């Protein structure tokens, strides 16, 4: 999340931000068009869009993002509309990245070219997600799905994501899927009913569920479908018939307490799950109990993501204790929940079992010093091959930095360390610098931005990483480094352009950055200011 968004989120707003004015929506289209035609690492790989194509895509992205945000606002009105604006920005960012990765559309005419453009058909993969994000008609479905009807085809992996199915198109897909379900191992139905009325979307889900019932899948992705409990139960036939499932994705699906309970009820207890991802849902503490039950019966779990799910301390404790049964865990992402100290301490007791852990994401969990110290001490004695450690935004001070530094010093395989948005100050920054200066030959990214670090800490951090082979980025922006300190750090990296991150938000006077970022509502529209900070999120 960028600084503009943070400043926007944490302010008490007195104006109504949703819906945006037509001029603001047009402004966003202009900004996205500019983003889409600007050369970047992604465009070098996938190709650069023309201005005309970018304008068309930007309009479609804005309309889709507006629809998603407006639906969110209707379900969860928050008075001033700030959460709808956040959804609007995030959805726009996500769709821009998808367009960039799609690259420019090909210009060939004819049915064969249309299929090639819209569907990746090769080997055992049938994928229609690369086409334009839009409704799919029955006629178009007939053309697209012809390869699936060919006798003897070997397709075992299908992806219908990014196209919105209504009842007509679902009717075309149903007999085809039924005829090949026994050969399928991977099915991606993420984002496949976008923009449909709830009643139609539920019927479509049920059609696909019945068509695929009895298949023997190892991978199932139902993300981005606003499922809720009704949607989960619409997939009952499919879910209950899966006895070999290894990967299940329910991201951004409106998984409430009731929906989480439905998932627990419908997923067979086979103990074979290796990947389970719940991100950006509204699960809460009671829903966490249901997820914890699924985790308990999944001892083979290697990748667990339960981020941005509104889980508090009580649910966090239950979930943390359940994770103790997952000794094979390699990646754990609990970002952006309200765990607090107690859940952090409970998690530390489970972490000792994670001998194979390589990535752990514990950002924005309200851990404070006590929780951070407990987790650091536990990690120090476990996870010998840890590569990624993130504890941003946890109110960790110099007091908690001592245990954290000792843990970091022991993790010689670290490649990425993120401790941004804490209160480490110079004392803590120096401890971290000392922890990483020796060894750590694989370390390539360190983020200690927004930690009230001053000249001495910044200089030592620079010296600690500058000679590491392959080091890519030191982010110490948003701190209180003096002008002299800035010059010293820049001098350290003078022969390594791009390795030192930007320092445009540094405050040499040590003033409160939040105050400096306040936008005068009389001079600039608040929503427009928010959207100016829109960035393409290179995520997951």
- Structural domains for the chain: 22-102 (1.10.246.200), 396-535 (3.80.10.10)
pLDDT class of 37 with cuts at 50, 70, 90: confident
The lowest-confidence range among 119-128, 234-243, 269-278, 464-473 is 119-128
Say whether pLDDT at 511 is over 70: no
Picking from 171, 111, 192, the residue whose alpha carbon sits closest to that of residue 144 is 111
Say whether pLDDT at 114 is over 50: no
- Percent of the chain past pLDDT 90, that is, above it, reads 69
Structure tokens at 139: 């006629």
| pLDDT on residue 19 | 84
Say whether pLDDT at 532 is over 80: no
Task: Tell me what the mean pLDDT of segment 44-64 comes to.
Answer: 80
The 10 Å Cβ neighbour count of residue 54 is 23
| pLDDT on residue 21 | 81
Cβ within 8 Å of residue 373, ≥6 positions away: 400, 403, 404
Give exposure, 192-221, as e/b (b: 16+ Cβ within 10 Å). Answer: bbbbbeeeebbbbbbbbbbbbbebebbbbb
Q: What are phi and psi of 126, to 5 degrees?
A: -125, 115
Strands 247-249 and 388-390: unpaired
Task: Enter the DSSP assignment of 531.
Answer: H
Q: Which residue has the higher pLDDT, 146 or 13?
A: 146
| pLDDT on residue 521 | 37
pLDDT class of 421 with cuts at 50, 70, 90: very high
Q: Three-state SS string across 278-324, please? A: EECCCCHHHHHHHHHHHHHCCCCCCEEEEECCCCCHHHHHHHHHHHC
Q: What one-character-per-residue DSSP string does 154-181 give? A: ---EEE-TTEEE-HHHHHHHHHHHHHHG
- Predicted confidence (pLDDT) per residue in 332-381, tens digit: 999 999 999 999 999 999 999 999 999 999 999 999 999 999 999 999 99
How far is residue 151 from each of residues 265, 311, 519, measured CA to CA in Å? 37, 49, 63
Task: Enter the DSSP assignment of 182.
Answer: G
Instruction: Evaluate whether 277 touches 251 at the Cβ level (below 8 Å).
Output: yes
Q: Which residue has the higher pLDDT, 220 or 80?
A: 220
Sign for the CA dihedral angle at 504, 509, 511, 515 comes to negative
Distance of CA 142 to the CA centre of its chain: 34
- Predicted confidence (pLDDT) per residue in 428-486, tens digit: 999 999 999 999 999 999 999 999 999 999 999 999 999 999 999 999 999 999 999 99
Task: Tell me what the mean pLDDT of segment 183-199 comes to.
Answer: 95
The lowest-confidence range among 60-74, 261-275, 279-293 is 60-74
Task: Tell me what the mean pLDDT of segment 237-265 comes to.
Answer: 97
Distance CA 506, CA 492 (A): 17
Average confidence score pLDDT of the chain: 88
- Predicted confidence (pLDDT) per residue in 59-72, tens digit: 889 888 888 888 78
Instruction: Evaluate whether 236 touches 212 at the Cβ level (below 8 Å).
Output: no
Return the H-helix or E-strand segment holding 188: strand 186-188
How far is residue 56 from each of residues 66, 133, 143, measured CA to CA in Å? 16, 12, 24
Task: Enter the DSSP assignment of 56.
Answer: H
Task: Tell me what the mean pLDDT of segment 207-227 comes to.
Answer: 97
């Amino acid at each position: 999340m960028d600084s503009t968004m943070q400043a926007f989120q944490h302010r008490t707003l007195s104006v109504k931000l949703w819906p945006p004015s037509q001029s603001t929506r047009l402004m966003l289209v202009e900004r996205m068009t500019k983003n889409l035609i600007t050369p970047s690492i992604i465009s070098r790989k996938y190709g650069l869009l023309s201005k005309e194509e970018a304008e068309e895509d930007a309009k479609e992205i804005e309309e889709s993002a507006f629809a998603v945000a407006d639906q969110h606002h209707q379900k969860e009105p928050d008075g001033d509309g700030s959460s709808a604006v956040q959804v609007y920005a995030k959805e726009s960012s996500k769709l821009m990245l998808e367009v960039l990765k799609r690259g420019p559309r090909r210009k060939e005419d004819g049915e064969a070219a249309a299929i090639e453009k819209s569907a990746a058909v090769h080997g055992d993969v049938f994928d229609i997600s690369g086409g334009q994000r839009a409704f799919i008609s029955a006629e178009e479905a007939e053309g697209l799905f012809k390869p699936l009807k060919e006798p003897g085809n070997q397709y075992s992996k299908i992806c219908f994501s990014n196209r919105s199915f209504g009842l007509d198109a679902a009717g075309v897909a149903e007999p085809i899927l039924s005829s090949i379900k026994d050969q399928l191992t991977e099915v991606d139905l993420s984002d496949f009913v976008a923009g449909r009325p709830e009643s139609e979307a539920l019927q479509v889900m049920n059609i696909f569920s019945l068509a695929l019932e009895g298949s023997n899948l190892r991978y199932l992705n139902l993300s981005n479908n606003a499922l809720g409990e009704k949607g989960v139960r619409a997939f009952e036939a499919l879910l209950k018939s899966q006895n070999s499932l290894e990967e299940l994705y329910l991201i951004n699906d409106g998984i409430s307490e009731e929906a989480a309970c439905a998932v627990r009820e419908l997923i067979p207890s086979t103990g074979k799950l290796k990947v389970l991802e719940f991100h950006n849902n509204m699960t809460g503490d009671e829903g966490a109990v249901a997820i914890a039950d699924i985790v308990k019966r999944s001892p083979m779990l290697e990748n667990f993501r339960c981020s941005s799910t509104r889980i508090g301390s009580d649910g966090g404790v239950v979930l943390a204790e359940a994770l103790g049964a997952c000794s094979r865990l390699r990646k754990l992402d609990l970002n952006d929940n309200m765990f607090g100290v107690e859940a952090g301490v409970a998690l530390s007791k489970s972490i000792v079992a994670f001998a194979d852990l390589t990535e752990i994401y514990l950002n924005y969990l309200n851990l404070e010093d006590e929780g951070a110290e407990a987790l650091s001490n536990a990690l120090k004695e476990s996870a010998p091959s840890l590569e990624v450690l993130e504890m941003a935004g946890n109110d960790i001070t110099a007091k908690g930095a001592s245990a954290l530094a000792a843990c970091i010093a022991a993790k010689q395989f670290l490649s990425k360390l993120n401790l941004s948005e804490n209160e480490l100050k110079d004392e803590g920054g120096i401890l971290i610098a000392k922890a990483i200066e020796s060894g750590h030959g694989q370390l390539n990214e360190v983020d200690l931005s927004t930690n009230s670090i001053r000249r001495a800490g910044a200089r030592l951090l620079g010296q600690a990483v500058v000679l590491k082979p392959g080091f890519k980025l030191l982010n110490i922006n948003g701190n209180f480094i003096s002008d002299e300190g800035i010059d010293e750090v820049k001098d350290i990296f003078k022969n390594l352009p791009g390795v030192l991150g930007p320092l445009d938000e540094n405050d040499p006077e040590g003033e409160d950055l939040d105050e400096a970022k306040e936008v005068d509502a009389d001079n600039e529209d608040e929503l427009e200011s928010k959207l100016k900070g829109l960035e393409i999120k290179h995520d997951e």
